[in-house]
Structure 1
Amino acid sequence: MRLWPHHPVHLIFGLTVWSVWFVVLYGGLSIGCQLAPPHPDQGPWNWLNLLLGLSTLVIVGALTWLAIQLWRAGGQLEGTGRYICLTSAGLYGVSAFSTLAVALPVLFLPPCI
């Protein structure tokens, strides 16, 4: 089944992805610190932060791609379809920014302190 750009599910999907990513990021951090904690002397440059950082970039890339696609699709529609596309594009953008903001400590802090 193909979801059309003006489908209302786009209004909640971006923030849902962000909230699931929030749980996965900090859950994965906790599990990684419990099973194989990196040495604190490594600072933020260790295998756990690298894995979480790369995963974050994948999620941000997907959310940004969706935002761009819906923004473009919204320019070709009128009425309610246009509203849903443009609002969803904004929500995907906010979700991408929020995903980066949540993962920002991965760049600066050692994970298991």
Structure 2
Amino acid sequence: MDYSNAVTAELPVAPRPGPASRHRGGPWRELSGALAVGMSVLAVVVVVFQVLAFARDMPGPGALTVLGHIAAAVLAVFVQRYADRHAGWMAVLSVLGVVAVSGAALWLFWWA
């Protein structure tokens, strides 16, 4: 057999894992993540209730309430993403921001 026209191909090498992340979540970051997810679920529930109320020709939560829940959920998720990607005081402030946004939304739309 003549192997003079043979072509060799180099097999791909899997990338080596980088160093372990020095950012640790901790219970406060996990709590704020749960709050962000909870605000997202609550926004979906409020939207569903508004759609059901509209379909049955009944008054629902209203446009202000629906838009407020959506805005609070989006803001909480973006602030949580920032907290997950940073460390130090900025992460602490971001966690507090998620708590503040969630608390404000619950206060304004549910208890006030």
Larger radius of gyration: 2
Structure with the bigger RCO (C-alpha within 8 Å, sep 6+) is 1
What's the TM-score, normalizing by structure 2?
0.45
TM-score if structure 1 supplies the norm length? 0.45
Q: Whose helix fraction is larger, Structure 1's or Structure 2's?
A: 1
